[in-house]
Amino acid sequence: MEGRYLISVSGPTAIGKTDWAIRLARHYNTSILSADSRQFYREMRIGTAVPSIAELEQAPHFFIQHRSISEPYSVGDFQREALQKLRELFATRNAVIMVGGSGLYLDAVTGGLDEFPEVPAEVRENLQDLLKREGIAALQQLLQEHDPKYFGIVDTQNPRRLIRALEVCLASGQPYSSFRGKKAAPDFFTHLPLGIQAPREIVYRRIDQRVDLMMAAGLLEEAERLYPSRDLTALQTVGYQELFAYLEGRWDLATAVAEIKKNTRRFARRQGTWLRKHPEIHWVPYDAPTREATDYLDIRMKAPNHG
């Protein structure tokens, strides 16, 4: 087997990506890089479905709970650190596994990242204050004014994406979209993308089961501990925001749990939108044997032309 291969494992939340990544890592005797932007933070264990200790012991993992929620950590930071780690790992092995549900972070490593101007902290803080005072609609209106082109394609319900685009618009005086599309992909590995799929009703059932297991494991208590830090960017995410609403008396607990399930299903649909933009992904059923993926990967790795 020649060359260096980054095997990415993607798919909707709760589909079983962690299990698949571990099986592939054991098959190829290699390591796993997490590209899940929620699992980076050590304070967010239950609500981000961090792999269990038993799972982590089955293969070396990187970028799991390696940061604090109080430390700024951008997709650019992750890209630089991940590419550095990949260079280290590829010095001694031919294949590395990358897994995660955060499409932007997967794309940053495999396809490169656009170069954006530096943003003063004050600009970011002002936008976060605007979100807190006036809600997401204010961000949507502002982005529509400053960059209607990007507004037409961005997930307008994702405040982190809106704030990121507005930061660049306000700091540079130019549309965020004008900086996109100029990236260069890394050239020291071949990317082999795998997607794990299941019928929608199975994905939704697995999501509901996962949320119930999280609640039984102490997600509410975790949210209570994190509540004083609720305004941090890392905590503007499904599973915590709904429980913060419960802790503030805006919802009862049953409503909060139902909203977590509903919003997680919505997140899975957004992941599906990202996945459909990548026709190069090779799909494998969620309940398939490991060999269904490794047979395909072995052929790709032995092929003289990887295109």
Residues at the annotated binding site for substrate? Answer: 13-18
Cβ burial of 250 (10 Å; 0-12, 13-18, 19+) is exposed
Cβ burial of 182 (10 Å; 0-12, 13-18, 19+) is exposed
Specify the long-range contacts of residues 216-224, CB closer than 8 Å, at least 24 apart.
217/46, 218/46, 219/46, 219/47, 219/243, 220/246, 220/253, 222/44, 222/45, 222/46, 222/47, 223/47, 223/247
Round to whole Å and give the CA distance between 67 and 251.
31
What secondary structure letter does DSSP report for 52?
P
Residue by residue, DSSP assigns 142-161 as HHHHH-HHHHTTS-TT-HHH
Sign of CA dihedral 115, 117, 121, 123: negative
Q: What are phi and psi of 212, to 5 degrees?
A: -60, -40
Beta bridge partners of 286: none
Known binding-site residues for ATP equal 11-18
